[in-house]
Structure 1
Amino acid sequence: MSTARTTGTASTAVIIVNGRGQYLLHLRDAHKPICDAGTWSLVGGGPEGDESLDEAIARKILEETGLTLPDVSPYTTTTARGPYVTEGNIHLYTAHWDGDARSLPVTEGIMFAWFGVDTMEQLSMCPWAHAAITSHHAERPVPPVPAPRPAHGHGGAGAVKNVIGAHLFLERDGTTLLGRRHPDVAFAGGAWHALAGHVERESVRACLVREAREEAGLVIDPADLELVHTVHLLDDHEDAEPRIQLFFAASPWTGEPEVLEPDKCTAWTWWPLDSLPETTVAYTRTAIDGIRAGTTYTELGWGGRDASVERRTR
């Protein structure tokens, strides 16, 4: 890689693409005095001290993603405008990476995710980043490579990773707690959903205890969590990963729900179990219906007839 020096006021950003033709985007904090707040954008930042632009982008990639990429190459330049923009000229680089975006450490902002150019039209994106990616895709299109998919129905097609989600089912006087997701989040923006999170390197109960405290200020003893329903889900899009959605009931708990992460959830409401909002996330509604019916397991999206398994009376 060359060692371009900083000339005038400049910053850097990197377009990271994978073998499926998807681009790595970084969701920026929504409620901070920063440029392009609350938008999906690219990894990058300005040089420090006597750094060259090449040195600056390598440092920012490492700081923001934990990655050391061997093929970072200069691409083009663009210009950013708007509130809190201090580096008008942005030197763009390109790189290739085929890893799991959810595995990246989030040292700044909210999260990382892979998106195709078509999906980006539905996102709240930083304008200059969107224009840069659109231009890159037009000049150097990468033919999408379908992700390996498990066979539908009985039988399998080799080992496939299943993402695990932990969900909290709270019931009080015939109502259950749901949160309205922020309209700009990557999944189910504006819909109502159970308090939930992806299980990291932790137990499912530990994940729920952490998420309940961080998202809503609720205190739960892990010993008071009981598994009440499981949804094995395959979303209906080409590169969908199978997901195991675990729903745990808690009794008792301490505290009243409050909005602590407004960039993810804008409201907590107790909804009657027999009158959930129309915009409830589909698999969450299915799980709640299953809990009320006394079933422990549902399959969704696997083709043929979705199936539920009855729970034996305890």
Structure 2
Amino acid sequence: MGDTSPQVRAKPVTFTVGKHDDRGEYLLHLRDYFPGRIWEPGMWSLLGGGREPQDATLEHTVRRELAEEAGLDIADLTPFGTEYATDDAGATVPIAIYAGRWNGDPRELHLTEGVMLAWFTPDDLHRLRIADTTSDLARRHAASRPAGTAPQSGLSSHEECRSTSPHGTVLNVIGVHLYLERPDGTVLLGLRHPDSPFVPSTWHVLAGHCEQENAIACLIREAREEAGLHIKRQDVELVHVVHHIDKAGDRPRMGLFFRTRTWSGEPELREPDKCTQWRFWDPVALPDNLVSYTRVAIGKIQNGELYSETGWPA
């Protein structure tokens, strides 16, 4: 990463201004977890680093770091602004932000530092371990683009994502779901908040997306964070997998449904901005406003079927 001392650092924001459902995607870097040795250890961040003596300008710093860390050569880089962060010693560090566009698959880059690179939309950032300044920056950049602006480059849609990959590969989102069934056979569902970006005012099982963690660890974390339920790994079993898309052109999703026979705690509203009510429902009398793939999965689980697909064209 080069010099990480409290001096002006140049961080290139390798943005795309492409759109998917009118949302741009941003390239983020999962950093190594070396506390005391690197900036923001174990967090999602932007590619970049400290200025070195051979760098004539901050843009030279940006280009050198991109090349050294990921083998990237961005044709057009423009200053976007200056951010301020606080280092481990409590000093304020100015960070020069550059914006650019790149169209490609980060898995094909030669990453020399950190764990991985991945695309995220601004709506994805709340589930990442990421500095507030970084997530705010991405949202501000997204808001700065005029509404309806067509992308000049970058990942303009998942169809375009497929075409840029030599093998037609599309990254699937992995979600975990808790199938919590009481001895009387009723199943736990939560009513999503009316302002939820995903299926507002609709019933759904307790669910979440995997972060830098395995699926069962994600399930245990989500159950605790969302409902105050405590689950042990040895009590968890996989009971269903649903491979689904919500509508044509959306990113495919793999939903893993886990059952736990034993748990402690009663469902609480730990995140009222996401869920407004927990309730146990009879599987034969489920609410009408239930997420469609969740309805399918519950029926399959009741029948002992392990796999289903929904939303795919016939």
1:223 partner SS: helix
- CA contact 2:186–2:280 (8 Å) conserved in 1: yes
Q: Please report how far the alpha carbon of residue 302 of structure 1 lies from its aligned counterpart in structure 2 after TM superposition.
A: 2.5
Structure 1 residue 186 and structure 2 residue 203: aligned?
A: no
Aligned partner of 2:160 among 147, 155, 166: 147
Q: How has the CA–CA distance of structure 1 residues 302 and 175 changed in structure 2, closer, same or farther, with 3 Å as cutoff?
A: same
- CA contact 1:20–1:142 (8 Å) conserved in 2: no
Per the alignment, residue 145 of structure 2 pairs with 133
Q: How has the CA–CA distance of structure 1 residues 25 and 241 changed in structure 2, closer, same or farther, with 3 Å as cutoff?
A: closer
Structure 1 residue 171 and structure 2 residue 181: aligned?
A: yes
Q: Which amino acid aligns with 1:137?
A: T
**CA deviation profile, 1:254-279 (whole Å, cap 9, x unmatched):** 00000111222222111121111111
Per the alignment, residue 272 of structure 1 pairs with 282
For residues 311 and 286 of structure 2, the distance between their equivalents in structure 1, rounded to whole angstroms, comes to 22
**CA deviation profile, 1:27-49 (whole Å, cap 9, x unmatched):** xxxxxxxxxxxxxxxxxxxxxxx
For residues 301 and 149 of structure 1, the distance between their equivalents in structure 2, rounded to whole angstroms, comes to 18
Q: Which amino acid aligns with 2:262?
A: P
How do 1:165-314 and structure 2 match up within 5 A? 165-172=175-182, 173-238=184-249, 240-304=250-314
Q: Please report how far the alpha carbon of residue 211 of structure 1 lies from its aligned counterpart in structure 2 after TM superposition.
A: 0.7
2:226 partner SS: helix
Q: Please report how far the alpha carbon of residue 186 of structure 1 lies from its aligned counterpart in structure 2 after TM superposition.
A: 2.2
**CA deviation profile, 1:125-148 (whole Å, cap 9, x unmatched):** 99xx86x5335727x777945334
Over the residues paired in the alignment, what is the CA RMSD in angstroms? Answer: 4.2
Name the count of aligned residue pairs: 224
Q: How has the CA–CA distance of structure 1 residues 204 and 136 changed in structure 2, closer, same or farther, with 3 Å as cutoff?
A: closer
Q: Please report how far the alpha carbon of residue 185 of structure 1 lies from its aligned counterpart in structure 2 after TM superposition.
A: 2.5
Aligned partner of 1:160 among 166, 170, 182: 170
- Could you tell me which runs of 5 or more consecutive residues in structure 2 were left unpaired when the two chains were aligned: 1-12, 27-42, 49-61, 63-75, 82-97, 104-117
1:262 partner SS: coil
Per the alignment, residue 107 of structure 1 pairs with 131
How do 1:1-80 and structure 2 match up within 5 A? 17-20=16-19, 22-24=22-24, 66-68=45-47, 73=78
**CA deviation profile, 1:272-313 (whole Å, cap 9, x unmatched):** 211111111111111001111221110112322xxxxxxxxx
For residues 221 and 290 of structure 2, the distance between their equivalents in structure 1, rounded to whole angstroms, comes to 23
- Could you tell me which runs of 5 or more consecutive residues in structure 1 were left unpaired when the two chains were aligned: 1-13, 27-63, 77-92, 115-124, 151-156, 305-314
For residues 23 and 169 of structure 2, the distance between their equivalents in structure 1, rounded to whole angstroms, comes to 25
Q: Which amino acid aligns with 2:17?
A: N
Q: Please report how far the alpha carbon of residue 219 of structure 1 lies from its aligned counterpart in structure 2 after TM superposition.
A: 0.5
1:263 partner SS: coil
1:134 partner SS: coil
1:18 partner SS: coil
For residues 176 and 218 of structure 2, the distance between their equivalents in structure 1, rounded to whole angstroms, comes to 7
Q: TM-score, normalised by structure 1?
A: 0.58
2:132 partner SS: coil
Q: Which amino acid aligns with 1:295?
A: E
For residues 282 and 136 of structure 1, the distance between their equivalents in structure 2, rounded to whole angstroms, comes to 30
